[in-house]
Amino acid sequence: MTVLLFLVPLALALGFVGLMGFLWSLKSGQYDDLDGAAQRVLSDDDIEEEGR
Amino acid sequence: MSAPALDFEALVTRGKDGSFRLEAAIEGMTCAACIGDIESALRNLPGLIAARVNYTNRRLSLEWRESAFELAGVFERLRRMGYRLHPFELASGERAEEEASKRLLRCLAIAAFAAMNIMLLSAAVWIGEDTDIDPATRDMFHGLSALIALPAAAFAGQPFFESAFNALRARRLNMDVPISLGVVLALAMSVNETLTHAPRAYFDSAIMLLAFLLLGRYLDAAMRRKTRGVAANLAALRAPLACRLGADSRETMVAAAALRRGDRVLARPGEVLPADGVVTARVSTLDEGIVTGETARRPVSRGERVYAGSLNHDGALTLEVEAAGAGTLLGEIERLLEKATSARSRYVRLADRVSRFYAPVVHLAALATALFWLWRGASIHDALVTAISVLIVTCPCALALAVPAVQVVASGALFRGGVLLNAADALERLAQIDTVVFDKTGTLTSPHPCVVNARDFDSEIVECAASLARASSHPLAQAVARARPDAPLLADATEERGQGVRALIDGAEARLGSPGFCGLEEEVAHLGALAPDVSLVAFRHGARHALFQLRQTLRCDAAQTLAALARRGLAMEILSGDRAEAVESVAKALDVANWRGGLKPAEKVARIEALRAAGHKVLMVGDGLNDAPALASAHASMSPIDATQFTQAAAAAVFLGDRLAPVLATVETSVEARRVMRQNLALSAIYNLFAVPLAMLGLLTPLIAAAAMSGSSLLVTLNALRTGKQARGFGEGAP
């Protein structure tokens, strides 16, 4: 059962990375404007500028 | 005309690094493409650090440094693009709520992370019980669980611990006391079990309990924050900018809230007066419908007192602001409002009523269990374990979700239908009402006047007049424009302030405005005496002419809505500040037997108090400033969104749109919501009825406790989702 000794910590570490990611996204305001974020991804104004 | 200077000093917040911030509600933002338009329009303004549109709550946040930046430039640029900005001060309540809701989400994330990982470990132990798990492995799993659970509970449990501590310090019991006690005891006991190599630990139950409770609270907070945000935007749209005159007659636009006593303010025709005051120059007529309920307009001249919320009709007025002092109408109404609100706050919410009774029972049951097992000769350890499992299993996961889940679903459905709930207990109050009291002006009648004799004229004439009317900002002209909303806009129309508009149509001059402006005095004389609330707008195009009669008409679905409310067995009454004859005709048209006219604000309150004393629960629907105290003193209250800010603050719910149907839908949804809330409470009571005896007998394994807890929470949540279906029907077509 020694496999548990690194599998369990590994699983926990991965979960912890996910949690930290969520907390970071919350802190950086990514949940403040959910509708806007969904619409902004469709905006293609920036492409025009690059093409010039 | 150059744009007047802007002064929003009071609304600007300073950042630490010397930058300035301003938040503004955006009017006229209709689609997602507007995000890009607005942001790119502001991209190259000198001094501006950031301009970001929040599409969810339709706000723009601006950040700039002092040097070289002109706020007026932003307003002017956006105005030319068709957007209007309404800056506002974030109410301290709203910001605190946002912080609280973020904190709950953080706690929820941590509790959910911990619960999932502990569950994985626990599941292994449970399966291991059948397959002879190695005791060393089991101890390792328990130890790992402890390492995850203890810090997670210490962080995620804080909202509950704080609230329980505050309650205990005030010598009260609330729902958080058994929750905190259960969680702390379960964790302490589990640590003890782990150290003594016992086969069972309860980390999973304790953390899962926290996660579920946090979910309920977060949903509740998120729902309230959303409604609060929309309400704040609407308040900002309603709060008019005032045009302040400086000592050298320079015009500065300021937020109406920033006006001080003694300021001089200019109010143009078609504008709402921003403050109470005394007229110092010019004459005009005022529509004070929203203030007094009176529909006939009042001519005012120098030296007369006027009230905020009145609509200025004809001339540009200069006022000297006189907002301070308890003698003004605002002061009077504020005083009545305060009195009425304090009378209402004694109401105890359903969830609190249940928990007030529930918390002592839980503690007594746990104590009784421990004593019983001690008496039967069990060891102290076993007796404590059983008592804790009683505490955990009764900990009201389902109970905590039972009411908030329904509230979230029901208010979400109402929100989509254009009804915003202001107060947390609005649904419960609305469900209990048995009498509906309506105000007349602006509530039963539409807030704007309508053309009532459009059918008497050729449709071509009406269309011509509507085209012309669209060029004017005068309230009566706008009413004519509404008669034909699709009439084409005329490019070369010129407006003569206080007179009317004229333009060339098909080579002939067309005029719309006062009868004198169009030369139709004789025709007016032929009409004879008109009802006092009828206004005339004249139109002349070459030889053709028309006299439009305008008055306030009933909202289009007022009759059906009142009939439907009557069918529900609700008593109906009309209380109005308008003249008795005007009220009588409306009451007859709507088939309402009880009506009173000519009432002052205090008389409305007195009537509602009398109804309350007779044992009735009153829903007051009103919009005028004179209704605000009555709204606050009624059991529940609703207000259309066109109402004054005061009324919106006093009402438990506000509704959008030109129809009265939301009142009916709100009552129906609240009754349905209350039914589902009670079902949910019954469901969780039944769950406790089964689970508690098992726990008391010591038969409850952590697995059963966990399954029962999640199962009951799920059941309650699913049941709550049914509430939304009811209200969905009326939501279509609302903004």
Model confidence pLDDT, tens digit, residues B65-91: 776 677 777 887 887 777 878 777 665
| 414-453 of B, contacting A, C-beta below 8 A | none
What are the respective helix, strand and coil percentages of chain B, to the nearest 5?
A: 55, 20, 30
| 4-33 of A, contacting B, C-beta below 8 A | 4, 8, 11-12, 15-16, 18-19, 22-23, 26, 31-33
Long-range contact set of residues A31-34: C-beta below 8 Å, sequence gap at least 24: A31/B105, A32/B54, A32/B56, A33/B54, A33/B55, A33/B56, A33/B57, A34/B56
Residue B205 lies in a domain: yes
CA–CA gap between residue B511 and residue B315 (Å, rounded): 19
- Are B547 and B559 within one domain? no
The secondary element (H helix, E strand) that includes residue B414 is helix B397-416
Contact B33 A43 (CB under 8 A): yes
pLDDT digits (tens, 9 = 90+) for B232-282: 666 666 555 677 787 777 777 776 666 777 788 887 776 777 777 888 877
pLDDT digits (tens, 9 = 90+) for B478-497: 788 877 777 777 767 777 76
Residue B338 lies in a domain: no
Residue B638 lies in a domain: yes
* Pairing relationship of beta strands B571-575 and B595-596 according to DSSP bridges: parallel
Residue B734 lies in a domain: no
pLDDT digits (tens, 9 = 90+) for B585-621: 888 888 888 898 888 778 888 899 899 899 898 999 9
Question: Using 50, 70 and 90 to split pLDDT, how confident is the model at B206?
Answer: confident
The number of domains in chain B is 5
Contact B54 A33 (CB under 8 A): yes
Choose the weakest-confidence range: A40-49, B139-148, B417-426: A40-49
Write down the pLDDT at residue B143.
Answer: 92
Q: What are phi and psi of B54, to 5 degrees?
A: -100, 110
CB B25 within 8 A of CB B233: yes
Cα four-point dihedral sign B583, B589, B590, B591? positive
The more confidently predicted of residues B105 and A43 is: B105
Q: What angle do CA B718, B724, B730 make, to 5 degrees?
A: 165
Chain A residues in contact with B137 by the CB 8 A cut-off are 1, 4
- Are B571 and B688 within one domain? no
- Spell out the residues 6+ positions from residue B47 whose beta carbon is closer than 8 angstroms to its own: B64, B65, B66, B67, B68, B69, B70
Which of B333, B320, B236 minimizes the C-alpha distance to B279? Answer: B320
Does position B7 have pLDDT exceeding 70, yes or no?
no
Q: Which member of A11, A19, A39 has the closest CB to residue B109?
A: A19
- Are B104 and B213 within one domain? yes
Chain B residues in contact with A18 by the CB 8 A cut-off are 113
**B57 in contact with chain A, both atoms CB, cutoff 8 A:** yes
Residue B466 lies in a domain: yes
Of B518, B551, B584, which residue constitutes the final position of a domain?
B551
B32-36, B39-43, B116-120, B544-548: range with highest mean pLDDT: B116-120
- Are B545 and B559 within one domain? no
Q: Tell me the shortest Cα–Cα distance from A51 to chain B, in angstroms.
A: 17
Of B656, B685, B716, which residue constitutes the final position of a domain?
B656
CA–CA gap between residue B405 and residue B663 (Å, rounded): 22
CB B323 within 8 A of CB B330: yes
Q: What CATH number should be reported for the domain holding residue B633?
A: 3.40.50.1000
Contact A40 B137 (CB under 8 A): no
* B71-80 and B33-41 helices, crossing angle to 10°: 140
Write down the pLDDT at residue B10.
Answer: 63
Radius of gyration of chain A from its Cα atoms, rounded to whole angstroms: 19
Which domain range does residue B516 map to? 450-551
- Are B560 and B501 within one domain? no
Question: Using 50, 70 and 90 to split pLDDT, how confident is the model at B290?
Answer: low
Contact A19 B110 (CB under 8 A): yes
Which of B117, B142, B115, B116 minimizes the C-alpha distance to B128? Answer: B142
CA–CA gap between residue B279 and residue B294 (Å, rounded): 20
CA–CA gap between residue B357 and residue B367 (Å, rounded): 16
Which of B330, B294, B337, B288 minimizes the C-alpha distance to B577? Answer: B294
**B553 in contact with chain A, both atoms CB, cutoff 8 A:** no
- Are B314 and B386 within one domain? no
Q: Tell me the shortest Cα–Cα distance from A3 to chain B, in angstroms.
A: 12
- Are B272 and B312 within one domain? yes
CA–CA gap between residue B426 and residue B100 (Å, rounded): 21
Contact A26 B116 (CB under 8 A): no
Choose the weakest-confidence range: B116-125, B165-174, B606-615: B165-174
DSSP annotation string for B1-66: -PPPEEE-GGG-EE-TTSEEEEEEEEES--STHHHHHHHHHTTT-TTEEEEEEETTTTEEEEEEES
Chain B residues in contact with A43 by the CB 8 A cut-off are 32-33, 35-36
- Are B328 and B401 within one domain? no
- Are B521 and B644 within one domain? no
- Are B384 and B434 within one domain? no
CA–CA gap between residue B489 and residue B493 (Å, rounded): 9
Q: Which of B204, B220, B276, B439 is catalytic?
A: B439
User: Which whole number is the average pLDDT over B276-300?
Assistant: 74
Best residue of A2, A22, A34 to probe chain B, by most B CBs closer than 10 Å? A22
Contact A11 B120 (CB under 8 A): yes
The more confidently predicted of residues A51 and B358 is: B358
Which of B518, B536, B531, B520 minimizes the C-alpha distance to B476? Answer: B536
Chain B residues in contact with A45 by the CB 8 A cut-off are 36, 40
Q: Which member of B56, B57, B117 has the closest CB to residue A15?
A: B117
pLDDT digits (tens, 9 = 90+) for B670-717: 888 888 888 888 888 888 788 888 878 877 765 666 667 767 777 888
Q: What CATH number should be reported for the domain holding residue B269?
A: 2.70.150.10
DSSP B456: G
CA–CA gap between residue B643 and residue B310 (Å, rounded): 12
The secondary element (H helix, E strand) that includes residue B280 is strand B277-281
B139 is catalytic: no
Q: What is the three-class DSSP state of B530?
A: coil
Residue B273 lies in a domain: yes
- Spell out the residues 6+ positions from residue B387 whose beta carbon is closer than 8 angstroms to its own: B366, B367, B369, B370, B373
Write down the pLDDT at residue B109.
Answer: 94
**B381 in contact with chain A, both atoms CB, cutoff 8 A:** no
Residue B115 lies in a domain: yes
CB pairs under 8 A between A and B: 56
Q: Which member of A15, A33, A43 has the closest CB to residue B113?
A: A15
Q: What CATH number should be reported for the domain holding residue B48?
A: 3.30.70.100
- CA separation (Å) from A32 to A25, B25, B38, B100, B104? 10, 15, 19, 14, 15
CA–CA gap between residue B109 and residue A20 (Å, rounded): 10
CB B619 within 8 A of CB B436: yes
Chain A residues in contact with B113 by the CB 8 A cut-off are 15-16, 18-19
| 122-181 of B, contacting A, C-beta below 8 A | 134, 137, 140, 144, 148
Q: Which member of A4, A8, A35 has the closest CB to residue B56?
A: A35
CA–CA gap between residue B59 and residue B383 (Å, rounded): 58
- Are B296 and B312 within one domain? yes
- Are B81 and B120 within one domain? no
CB B258 within 8 A of CB B7: yes
Residue B513 lies in a domain: yes
Of B23, B55, B89, which residue constitutes the final position of a domain?
B89
